[in-house]
Amino acid sequence: GVNPDLANERQTASFSVEKLTAWLDGGAEQTRLRRAVVEAIERDPVFSRENQYFQSQNERYEAAVRKAVHLQKKMHEMGWSQDGPESKYIYRAVAGDIAFLLHRIFMRSISVLGSDEQIAKWIPPASQYQLIGSYAQTELGHGTYLQGLETTAVFDVTTQEFILNTPKISAMKWWPGDMGRSATHTVVFAQLYVHGKCYGIHPFIVQIRSLQDHSLCPGIIAGDIGPKMNFEHIDNGYLMLQNVRVPRENMLNKFCEVQPDGTYVRRGSQKINYFTMTSVRISLISGEAVTPLMKACTIAIRYSAVRRQSKLKPGEQEAKILDYQTQQEKLLPQLAAAYAFHFIDDYLQEMFDRGYREIQRKNFDTLPELHALSSGFKATVTQYCTSGVEICLRACGGHGYSLLSGLPSLYTKIIASCIYEGENTILLLQTARFLVKSFMAASTGQSVPPSVTYLAAVKPRKCPAKNKLDFLSPDIYTEAYQHMAVRLISSTAAKLQDLIQSGVKKHDAWNRCTVQLAQAAKAHCHYITVKNFAETVEKLESKAGIQKIMKHLCDLFALHGIFSNAGVFMHDGYISGAQMDMVTASYLDLLAIVRKDAVPLVDAFDFTDKSLNSALGCYDGQVYQRLYEWARKSPTNKQISPAYEKYLKPLLHNTLSKL
Amino acid sequence: EALVLNDPDFQHEDLNFLSRSQRYEQAIRKSSLMVMKLREYGIADPEEIYWFKSFVHRGRPEPLDLHLGMFLPTLLTQATPEQQDRFFMPAWNLEIIGTYAQTEMGHGTHLRGLETTATYDPATQEFILNSPTVTSIKWWPGGLGKTSNHAIVLAQLYTQGQCKGLHAFIVPIRQLGTHEPLPGITVGDIGPKFGYDEMDNGYLKMDNFRIPRENMLMKYAQVEPDGTYVKPLSDKLTYGTMVFIRSLIVGDSARSLSRACTIAIRYSAVRHQSELKPGEPEPQILDYQTQQYKLFPLLAAAYAFHFVGAYIKDTYRRISGDINEGDLSELPELHALTAGLKAFTSWTANAGIEECRMACGGHGYSRCSGIPDIYVTFTPSCTYEGENTVMMLQTARFLVKSYTQVSSGQRVTGMVSYLNDLSRQRIQPQHVAARTVTVRINDPVSLVEAYKARAARLVEAAAKNLQAELNHRRSKEDAWNRTSVDLVRASEAHCHYVIVKLFTAKLSEISNAAVRAVLTELCLLYALYGISKNTGDFLQAGILSDAQITQVNQRVKELLAIIRRNAVALVDSFDFHDVHLGSVLGRYDGNVYENMFEWAKKSPLNKTEVHESFHKHLKPMQAKL
């Protein structure tokens, strides 16, 4: 049965959990579909994650390969297709614990960067898994800064081949997934040289392992890069190329081509490359950042409703730790953030779809805005969610550190998202560059993209709030965020101008302002998130209690941001000291309000127990029983440790000290 | 140090490539050897043992930690001479290996909630130990799962039908000779954790397990043969141990953060990326302002915490001298202060280690960077020996108490003496406003005053809010809970003030001018960075003006550029040996890339050229599709 401590949390819900779930999914039909996919996968024992926490790196890799292979069979059986409506739920259901994710990127890069002939040649065997692909971009010495890559591809006119080389150790490909053990082919990014001239980074298809016996091809040195904080199931690899020759046709040539005589031809717009990056950054926000935060909130909040500790009132039962203000202050803002970023994901997705339609009509105007927003949001959301997951972990006390809580694995996985697909600080600076440019344009009256038109409306004002209830008005706080973002962007732009006018070189001035620039970019994203949350709430129908609770969450998200960044809002006196006390009071009131619906709010995320894989976070709240059962399954309790016979016994019998 | 590093017996394969079971085995092997060698070299001084141990295990936990760190000391402090005769020498000779079983599945920091019972049976003169619920199962004690054959168990004592609260009992749990659990004892390992792979943290369930009356540690409280309970003289004494252990955690915060800074700063000097000036070679990433902004404030914090740790240790030594002479007057303040400082420094270090790892980009994520290992080993200290939020609230309780004393006209002493000024300010309302211009942002002493004013304001605000809640006729507990976010902020401000004050005070003790100069820069950075991260507090209290905040932000960036020159030297000064650092990125010689390649080749996945998964899964799939 359900632990009564959790059951009574559910009885007092102020809204319908099922309706909220359906709304989050984008309709009841989606919910039905998602549940069907999850159910089909979780029922299949091959996809079980039951022993995951007890497995070694080798075992987890093998399980991931087994699951990936089995998934192909399963999809065929269920009639699911690669780009069908089920696909996004499949990934959610297997919880990413699967091999060959890079194979999909391999295929996508060929589809986007390859010519029609190349697509016809490579995609059919790849989709039949006749070959397994990877994507080799990052090197030991260079990551986000692509121009710095050092692998070379020299065109040899006489044999019509490219000769690929790793000229030094820092040029070794390092990190690509599926490359350490699995892949037979990979797309290698290398500096192209023709007749001694460098043409920059280009993609080449290179076979690295034999299709017969999987041994390495001549000239190839490849292997696994060793253990990481997580992703033990993925064989991230290294690759060294020694005079590896590939035919001229293996350079992906939709946009650039080397002709037989060595003539270099460029066609189409380079901008499309940005579009690929943009699409990857937007697509990872939901699955890699928001979902883990939702899971962590589910685990920590359910556990906090079950764990009782110390007394709040003398003579009464020990209190649920969720009733402590300090515990609410840790968890509930994270819950609000999970919702806020879920809505931001919708916003970005919609903007992306619009941009995509424009690009298909050869209109690239929306690209800079899309690129800037996707960079900034990838950075802010992954960073926020990462720290949110860690807060959830630490809010579970000692038991949070047990792998069986599920939280350490969520954390060690999500932190990687701050680095991959562009290191966050560098991405924020890209956004900042766009903001400064837009601000300059706006202040000289030129037109700017829709998301930054607010920069034109610089008006030095004061926050009009008169009492703490005023701060529950979305207009009041959205305005405060807007004011703060404008102030940070304009003051940084002004400082940059000043430095340049005082004779400092442009790049130097930029470096001296980067701390502020990154802060300004974050402020912009924070503002858009609050604004979008408020607008989303406004559009909701008021029935079923959903709008009301969403409004509370929106207020909580916004006021938590002001409370935790008080100085930034007070700096020019926009919010006064007295007003800041009102913010704090309203914020603390909200914690107590949202507390009441905390469990139903995480229930609405609708994660199955299997997908949470947590002894602390199960739906029924039987925490301690489960923790004990799972611990007893640990292999350390099954086998007799060799350490006893070898070392402990002689030690206990005092034979060592007699030596 | 050299003794251990040059000893071939202590060498082993890189731990990153071993399974949990193998890591446990290695740790046990080394501990056994260590005990033998300690005897061989005749090392007996606790400080020397500590160093020897930390080099053998390279600062990592090991299964005998609780035996050496808790079991033996508890015997020394809480056992009667008769009990010491029975247990101490066998334990010293490791015939008895013990652990300290306090935490249960259902309760940690809140000790009074523990549920294990020890019921005295005068008929047999035994205690009957029981784990009456699932939540009462002992959970987490290190060395309990597989290693120990005894445990000091904390249980609620029942005698003559009454509960007398928590007491400590020596409980044998495994058969000497076979190492099998004794009848009535269920014991095992609690499974994999976030780090601590070499430690067999365990569970312990007792069913009507009987131990003789003489196994209760009775130096203070006693149960007489007929079941009469004799109360201990003072319960303040147990504070002493807690203060001591928490002071160790402050030191550990400093050390762990220093290690992470060493790795990140050395690596940032080796890694070149992108371009700062068009046409020039790629610069060291340490030259980027954003990178400096991530790392240097942490470097400053590592130095600050180092001084704080030393201060607590010294104060504790001084006070424990007094305790032995019966003077306990300073203990409450030190106890309150260490609770908060433990929380403050471990939180900062915890976040700081992660920041260092992120500053190393993708390679920081590889275990070869060594930072993941530092992190998972350190991060539990936010929870053990007192959960941090609860610790902050303990400090707050002391602060509120001191504030109440001041309001009722008494004077307080020690680190909280600034609260005395609050009453004076009320007489001179101009005082606060006048303060604004007096802060000199280049003078550490003046910045200490600014932090002091902030702490005073936040303590006062929290105390007033608490009073307001009480005026609403809420119960004491309820009022406290509704003010706890404010109270934690007040504690943090108080701790922050103490740290800035101690760092500043240290500067005048440095005789070497060049060292003093560079540490003054670090101290300024620590103080100014702290202000820039908490500008709201300083603005709201009118301690600093908008213009001054702008100056502070500017000055922080100037200091970054100044410290940049000495950054590598400042981490070299921590003097971590490469073996102890355990990091390919943080090597003293900076030969990062070639050694990463060497390291990766040893990965378990690389043992065979073609992985067995190819034959098992890949090949059949390719054949079928």
pLDDT tens-digit map of B173-183: 999 888 899 99
A141 Cβ neighbours under 8 A, 6+ residues apart: A148, A150, A170, A171, B271, B272, B593
Share of chain B residues as helix, strand and coil, in percent rounded to the nearest 5: 60, 10, 30
Task: Give the distance from residue A532's alpha carbon to the nearest chain B alpha carbon, in angstroms.
Answer: 26
Residue B435 has pLDDT above 70, yes or no: no
Question: d(Cα A370, Cα A364) in Å, to the nearest integer?
Answer: 10
- Chain A residues whose CB is inside 8 A of the B617 CB are 62, 65-66, 69
Residue A187 has pLDDT above 90, yes or no: yes
Q: How would residue A216 be classed by pLDDT, with cut points 50, 70 and 90? A: very high
Domain boundaries, chain B: 1-60, 96-232, 239-389
- Chain A residues whose CB is inside 8 A of the B139 CB are 398, 627
pLDDT tens for each residue of A101-124: 889 889 989 998 899 999 999 999
B307-328: average pLDDT: 80
Would you identify the CATH topology of the domain B96-232? Butyryl-CoA Dehydrogenase, subunit A; domain 2 (2.40.110)
Share of chain A residues as helix, strand and coil, in percent rounded to the nearest 5: 60, 10, 30
Phi first, then psi: give them for residue B120, nearest 5 degrees. Answer: -80, 135
AA letter at B40: E
Q: How would residue A659 be classed by pLDDT, with cut points 50, 70 and 90? A: very low
Q: If you measure CA to CA, which chain B residue comes closest to A214?
A: B610
Residue B39 has pLDDT above 80, yes or no: no
- Chain A residues whose CB is inside 8 A of the B622 CB are 129-130
Residue B437 has pLDDT above 60, yes or no: no
Using CB atoms, pick whichever of A181, A309, A507 lies closest to residue B611: A181
| A659 close contact with B: CB closer than 8 A | yes
B484-504: average pLDDT: 98
A324-341: average pLDDT: 98
Helix (H, G, I), strand (E, B) or coil at A626: helix
- Chain A residues whose CB is inside 8 A of the B474 CB are none
Q: Note which residues in 382-421 of chain A have CB less than 8 A from chain B.
A: 390, 393-394, 397-404, 408, 411-412, 415-416, 418-420
pLDDT at res. B620: 78
pLDDT tens for each residue of A496-509: 999 999 999 999 99
| B535 close contact with A: CB closer than 8 A | yes
A362-384: average pLDDT: 93
Residue B578 has pLDDT above 90, yes or no: yes
* C-alpha distances out from residue A90 to A64, A74, A85, A109, A350, Å: 14, 11, 10, 22, 22
pLDDT at res. B363: 94
Task: Give the distance from residue A87's alpha carbon to the nearest chain B alpha carbon, in angstroms.
Answer: 20
AA letter at B537: D
Spatial CA neighbour of A47 closest among A63, A60, A36: A63
| B379 close contact with A: CB closer than 8 A | yes
Residues A636, B189: C-beta atoms closer than 8 Å: yes
Contact B79, B88 (CB under 8 A): yes
A221-233: average pLDDT: 91
pLDDT at res. A270: 66
Question: d(Cα A143, Cα B372) in Å, to the nearest integer?
Answer: 20
In the numeric block, the tokens 């000024």 are attached to: B421
Q: How many residues are there in chain A? A: 659
Residue A657 has pLDDT above 50, yes or no: no
pLDDT at res. B237: 58
pLDDT at res. B323: 63
pLDDT at res. A328: 98
pLDDT at res. A50: 86
Q: CA end-to-end span of chain A, whole Å?
A: 58
Using CB atoms, pick whichever of A148, A415, A572 lies closest to residue B273: A148
Q: Note which residues in 413-472 of chain B have CB less than 8 A from chain A.
A: none
List, in sequence order, every beta strand (DSSP E) within A550-624. none
Taking each helix axis from N to C end, the angle separating B444-471 and B484-507, rounded to the nearest 10 degrees, works out to 160
Contact A292, A414 (CB under 8 A): yes
pLDDT tens for each residue of B366-379: 999 999 999 999 99
pLDDT at res. B430: 43
A227-253: average pLDDT: 94
Spatial CA neighbour of B108 closest among B492, B388, B479: B388
Q: How many CB pairs under 8 A join A and B?
A: 363
Which residues is A246 bridged to in the sheet? A162
| A653 close contact with B: CB closer than 8 A | yes
* C-alpha distances out from residue A111 to A103, A260, A516, Å: 12, 23, 40
pLDDT at res. B56: 77
Residue A35 has pLDDT above 80, yes or no: yes
pLDDT at res. B345: 98
Mean pLDDT of chain A: 93
Contact B388, B343 (CB under 8 A): yes
Contact B345, B250 (CB under 8 A): yes
Q: If you measure CA to CA, which chain A residue comes closest to B282?
A: A148
A214 Cβ neighbours under 8 A, 6+ residues apart: A184, B610, B614, B618, B619
B264-292: average pLDDT: 93
- Chain B residues whose CB is inside 8 A of the A518 CB are 290
| A504 close contact with B: CB closer than 8 A | no
Residue B324 has pLDDT above 70, yes or no: no
Q: Which long-range contacts (CB under 8 A, 24 or more apart) does B78-82 make?
A: B78/B168, B78/B217, B78/B219, B78/B220, B79/B217, B79/B218, B79/B219, B80/B217, B80/B218, B80/B219, B82/B214
AA letter at A455: L
Q: Active-site residue among B104, B385, B449, B492?
A: B385
Locate A78 and state its tokens.
Answer: 């269920």
pLDDT tens for each residue of A535-583: 999 999 877 789 999 999 999 999 999 999 999 999 999 999 999 999 9
pLDDT at res. B64: 87
- Chain B residues whose CB is inside 8 A of the A148 CB are 273-274, 282
Residue A441 has pLDDT above 80, yes or no: yes
Residue B424 has pLDDT above 80, yes or no: no
B48-54: average pLDDT: 73
CATH architecture of B239-389: Up-down Bundle (1.20)
Residues A313, B596: C-beta atoms closer than 8 Å: no
Q: How would residue B46 be classed by pLDDT, with cut points 50, 70 and 90? A: low
B56-75: average pLDDT: 84
Locate B25 and state its tokens.
Answer: 């085995």
Return the number of other C-beta atoms located less than 10 Å from residue B542's C-beta: 15
Q: If you measure CA to CA, which chain B residue comes closest to A52?
A: B192
Spatial CA neighbour of A258 closest among A243, A273, A245, A248: A248
Please check whether the two domains, B96-232 and B239-389, share a CATH topology: no
Vertex B591 angle, CA B590 and B594, to 5°:
155
Q: How far from the centroid of its chain's Cα atoms is residue A504's Cα?
A: 37
Annotated binding site of A for FAD: 138, 177
Mutate to test the interface with B, among A401, A433, A622, A630 (most CBs of B within 10 A): A401
Residue B131 has pLDDT above 50, yes or no: yes
Q: How would residue B222 be classed by pLDDT, with cut points 50, 70 and 90? A: very high
Would you identify the CATH topology of the domain B1-60? Butyryl-Coa Dehydrogenase, subunit A; domain 1 (1.10.540)
List, in order of start, the domains of chain A with CATH numbers.
130-267 (2.40.110.10), 424-605 (1.20.140.10)
Q: How would residue B421 be classed by pLDDT, with cut points 50, 70 and 90? A: confident
Q: If you measure CA to CA, which chain A residue comes closest to B536?
A: A567
Tell me what percent of the residues of chain A surpass a pLDDT of 90: 78
Number of H helices, E strands in chain B: 25, 11
Position with higher pLDDT, B423 vs B497: B497
In the numeric block, the tokens 């260590």 are attached to: B34
Rounded to two decimals, the ipTM of the complex is: 0.91
Residues B110, A570: C-beta atoms closer than 8 Å: no
pLDDT at res. B612: 83
pLDDT at res. B34: 81
Q: If you measure CA to CA, which chain A residue comes closest to B21?
A: A636
Locate A549 and state its tokens.
Answer: 């609770």
pLDDT tens for each residue of B516-526: 999 999 999 99
Task: Give the distance from residue A652's alpha carbon to the nearest chain B alpha carbon, in angstroms.
Answer: 4
pLDDT at res. B322: 67
pLDDT at res. A145: 87
B103 is in an annotated binding site: yes
Q: If you measure CA to CA, which chain B residue comes closest to A399?
A: B105
Spatial CA neighbour of A226 closest among B219, B301, B373: B373
Q: How would residue A640 be classed by pLDDT, with cut points 50, 70 and 90? A: low
